[in-house]
Chain A
Amino acid sequence: MSGISVRNLVKRWGSVCAVDDVSFETGSCEFVALLGPSGCGKSTTLRLIAGLEQATSGTVSIAGRDVTSLPSSQRNLSMVFQSYALFPHMTVAENIVFGLSVRGTPKAERQQRLRKIVDLLGLSALLDRRPSQLSGGQQQRVALGRALIAETPVCLLDEPLSNLDAKLRAEMRNEIRTLQRRLRIAMVFVTHDQTEAMSMADRIILMREGRVEQSGTPTELYEEPVSTFAARFIGTPPMNILDLSPSDAGFVVGGIAQAPPDGLPPGRYQLGVRPEHIRFSDRGVPARVESIEYFGADTITACQVGNQRLLVRTPGRAPCAADDTVFLSWPESAQHFFDEGSGLRCTGREGAKAPS
Chain B
Amino acid sequence: MKASRNALYGGLLLLPAAVLLWTFTYQPILGTIVDSLFSTARGKRPAVFVGLDQYQRMIDDPVFWKAMGNNLVYALTTIPLSMALALMMALLVNSHLRGQAAVRMAYFTPTILPMVAVANIWLFFYAPDYGLVDRFLQIFGWGGQNLLGMPDTALGALIVITIWKEAGFFMIFYLAALQQISPTLLEAAGLEGASYWQTLRRVILPLLMPTTLFISINAVIGAFRLVDHVVVMTKGAPDNATTLLLFYIYQTGFGYWDTGYAAALTVVLLLILALIALFQFGYVDKKVHYR
Residues of chain B in range 247-291 having any CB-CB distance to chain A below 8 Å: 290-291
Contacts of A51 in B (CB 8 A): 191
Stretch of A30-38, A81-89, A199-207, A240-248 lying at the B interface: A81-89
Decide yes or no whether B192 CB sits under 8 A from chain A: yes
A150 to B185, CA, bound (A): 17
Closest Cβ of chain A: how far from B184's Cβ, in Å?
4
- Which residues of chain B from 171 to 211 have a CB within 8 Å of any chain A CB? 182, 184-185, 187-195, 198, 202-203, 206-207, 209
Asked, given contacts A89-B206, A132-B291, whether A71 binds B190 with beta carbons under 8 Å apart, the answer is yes
Contact flag A89-B193 (CB < 8 Å), given A81-B188, A83-B184 = no
Q: Which residues of A contact B207 (CB under 8 A)?
A: 88-89
A-B contact pairs, 16 of them (CB 8 A): A51-B191, A52-B190, A73-B192, A73-B193, A78-B191, A78-B192, A79-B188, A85-B188, A88-B207, A88-B290, A89-B207, A89-B290, A102-B193, A102-B194, A102-B202, A103-B192
For the complex, is A130 an interface residue (Cβ under 8 Å from B)? yes
CA distance A83 to B182 in the complex (A): 10
Q: Which residues of B contact A52 (CB under 8 A)?
A: 187, 190-191
The minimal Cβ–Cβ distance linking A93 to chain B, given in whole angstroms, is 14
Residue ID in chain A nearest B192 by CB atoms: A99
Given A77, A78, A98, which contacts B189 in the complex, CB threshold below 8 Å?
Answer: A98
Q: How far is the CA of A70 from the CA of B195 in the complex (A)?
A: 14
- 8 Å CB contacts to B: which residues of A120-153? 130, 132, 146, 150
**A-chain residues with CB within 8 Å of residue B203 when the two chains form the complex:** 87
Residues of A within 8 A of B198 (CB): 102
The smallest C-beta distance from A139 to any residue of chain B, in angstroms, reads: 13
| Chain A residues whose CB sits within 8 angstroms of the CB of B184 once the complex forms | 81, 83, 85
**Number of chain A residues whose Cβ lies closer than 8 Å to a Cβ of chain B:** 23
The answer to whether residues A73 and B190 also contact, given A89-B207, A130-B290 and a CB cut-off of 8 A, is: yes
Q: Which of B204-234 contact A (CB under 8 A)?
A: 206-207, 209
Task: Label chain B's interface by main secondary structure.
Answer: helix
- Which 10 A/B pairs are nearest by Cβ-Cβ distance? A99-B192, A85-B188, A102-B194, A85-B184, A89-B206, A73-B193, A72-B191, A89-B290, A103-B193, A88-B290
With A and B bound together, what is the CA distance between A146 and B185 in angstroms?
Answer: 13
Query: Are A146 and B290 also in contact (CB < 8 A) when A52-B187, A81-B184, A89-B206 are?
Result: no
Contacts of B191 in A (CB 8 A): 50-52, 72-73, 77-79
Given contacts A52-B187, A87-B203, A102 and B192 within 8 Å (CB-CB): yes
Give the distance in Å from the alpha carbon of A103 to the alpha carbon of B207 in the complex: 21
Residue of A nearest to B203 (CB): A87
| C-alpha spacing A89/B290, complex, angstroms | 6
Tell me the bound Cα distance from A83 to B185 in angstroms.
Answer: 10
Expressed in whole angstroms, the Cα–Cα distance for A98 and B198 within the complex equals 11
- In the complex, residue of chain A having the shortest beta-carbon distance to the beta carbon of B191: A72
A72 to B193, CA, bound (A): 8
Report the bound CA distance from A150 to B194 in whole Å.
13
**A89 vs B204: C-alpha distance when bound (angstroms):** 10
Q: Which of A51, A88, A103 has the largest count of B CB atoms less than 10 A from its CB?
A: A88
Is B194 touching A87 in the complex (CB atoms < 8 A)? no
Given A72-B187, A88-B291, A132-B290: A146 and B192 interface contact (C-beta under 8 Å): yes
**For residues 39 through 83 of chain A, which have their beta carbon under 8 Å from a beta carbon of chain B?**
50-52, 71-73, 77-79, 81, 83
